[in-house]
Chains A and B, each alone.
Chain A
Amino acid sequence: MTLISEQQLPSIVKRLAHQILETYPGLNNAVIVGLQPRGVYLSDRIVAALQQEIAADKVHYGKLDITFYRDDIRRDLHLAKATYLPFSIEGKTVILIDDVLFTGRTIRAALDALLSFGRPAKVSLCVLVDRKPSRELPIQPDFTGKEMADASPYKVKVRWKENDGVDDVILLVD
C-alpha cells in the first residue's frame, strides 16, 4: 500500500523546505542536521530545496549518527555511519531531520548525541512521516510531511532512488 507516491514526494519535500524557511527566515543562526542512516536521504533533498530559495552558503548542513547513544544496543548491534558536523552548534537553532518518527527513541538518542557537540539554543524536528499513535516518549515534530492518525500494524518503508530505485513511502506487513 502506498502512503506517499512518487508524484507526491517532491512537493512534500518542497513544502517542508518552505515551512522551515518561513519559521527561520534565511536560516539565520540555524543549521540543518540529518540523522544517519536513512534521515540523510530526506535531508539531502530538503537542503537541495533550501538552496533553490537562499544562497547555498547560508545553508549549514551536517550529518549525525546516533548508534553509540541508542538504548537498545543489547538487543541489536547497529553499524555506525559517519558523523560530520563541520560547524559549531553552540547557541544555534538545530533543525534535526529524519525520515520516520515512530517511538521517539531515535530522537531521544539524537538529542543526547547533539549535546556532545555543544549547547544549541533550540532544537527543532522535521520528519517525512509521523506515526503519532506509536510514540513511547514525549517527543513531537515541528515540521511533518504526513501524519498517520491510526496505530498501524504495518511497517512504514521510505524508499529513496539512491538506495531503493524509487522515491515513495509504502506500508509493508511486518
Chain B
Amino acid sequence: MALTTKHLLGIKDLQTEDIQLILSTATQFKEVLQRPVKKVPTLRDVTIVNLFYENSTRTRISFELAEKRLSADVVNFTVSNSSAAKGETLLDTVNNILSMKVDMVVMRHSASGAPHYLAKHIDAAIINAGDGINEHPTQALLDAFSMQEKTGKLAGLKVAIIGDIMHSRVALSNIYLLKKMGAEVMVSGPPTLIPTYLQKAMDVQVEYNIDKALAWCDVANVLRIQLERQNQPLFSSLREYNLAYGITMNRLNKLNKEILIMHPGPINRGVEMDSDVANSPHSIILDQVENGVAVRMACLYLLTGRSNPA
C-alpha cells in the first residue's frame, strides 16, 4: 500500500489509484481531527521543512498544522528573512537545510518547475505547494475531496472552473485530477484569460458565457484574478470583470437548481465573487479549508512511508 511516486510534484504524475488512496486516507484523517486529541504520533521521527518562496496564508498554515497533527518536527522558511535574499541559489539553500537532517520538503515557488528541478538533485521527498502557473496538487486534492464529500461522487460530476484560468496552477491541477477521476470539466471566463490550446490539450469544454457555464455545472470552482501575475491588461477593469464574469446572487438565483460554489482563496470580494455568494449556503469555501488539513496529512503520511524504506 503506497503511492506510485516518491514526490508529490503534480497531479499530472499521479495514477488514478494514487488519487483514490490519498482521498480515502484523508477521510480517516478527517475523523482524527474530530477527536478530543487531534494529534497522532505517526510522523514523530520525521522532520519537515516548509520552504515558501512566495506568499501564502492558507496553504502554509494548513501544511504546518497537518505536520504538527502528525507529530512531525517542523521548520519554516520564508524567503523574505532568509539568505536567499543575499543571493544564495535554491539548490544551495535546500542542500544546506537537508544537511541538518531534514526528511521532507514542502515547497512553494513562483517559478514553474522549481520543485521538479529540486527533485532531480535531492533525495528527500518533495511536496509541491504551488509552483508558478504550473500545479498546486494538494489544492486540487482537497477540492476533489470536498466535492466528493458533498456530492458523493467525482465520476460524471460536472465541474466548471471559472475565472483566471491562464495564470492558475489551481485550474491546471484541478483539470488533471478531475479528468483522471472521470468528471466532466468546463472552463469559463474572458477569452483573454483562457489559453487557446487548453480545449485540445486537456479535453475540456470552453464556455465564454458565464451564465451558460453556471447553468451547465453541478459545481463552480471560482478562481482568483491574479493581478500579480498579469503584466499586461487582460480585461478593462475589475468593475467590468465583476459585471461580466463575477459570481453574484442574481446569477445564482436565475438557475433552477442548487450548485456548489468553491474558491481556493484568497477571495477578491466583489470581483470574481460577491460577498453574499461567498457567505451563502451554496458556498463550501470554509469546508475546503477544513478538508485541506486532512488531505495534506494524507499526502505527508503516504509519502513518508515511501521515502524511508527500512
Contact = CB atoms under 8 A, between A and B. Distances in A.
Interface stretch (B107-115, B118-126, B137-145, B301-309): B301-309
B37 interface: yes
A68 B35 contact: no
Nearest to A81: B28
A112 B304 CA distance: 21
A83 B36 contact: no
A77 B2 contact: yes
A117 B35 contact: yes
Size band of the interface chain A makes with B:
20 to 34
B242 to A, nearest CB: 44
B228 interface: no
Contacts of B24: 79-80
Nearest to B298: A80
Interface in B222-257: none
Interface string B7-38: 00000000000000100110111011001110
A115 B37 contact: yes
Interface of B: 1-2, 21, 24-25, 27-29, 31-32, 35-37, 39-42, 45, 70, 301-302, 304-306, 308-310
Given A73-B42, A115-B37, 14 more contacts: A68-B28, A68-B29, A68-B41, A73-B305, A74-B309, A74-B310, A76-B1, A77-B2, A79-B1, A79-B24, A80-B24, A83-B32, A116-B32, A117-B35
Interface of A: 65, 67-70, 73-83, 112, 115-118
The 3 closest A-B pairs by CB, nearest first: A77-B305, A116-B37, A80-B28
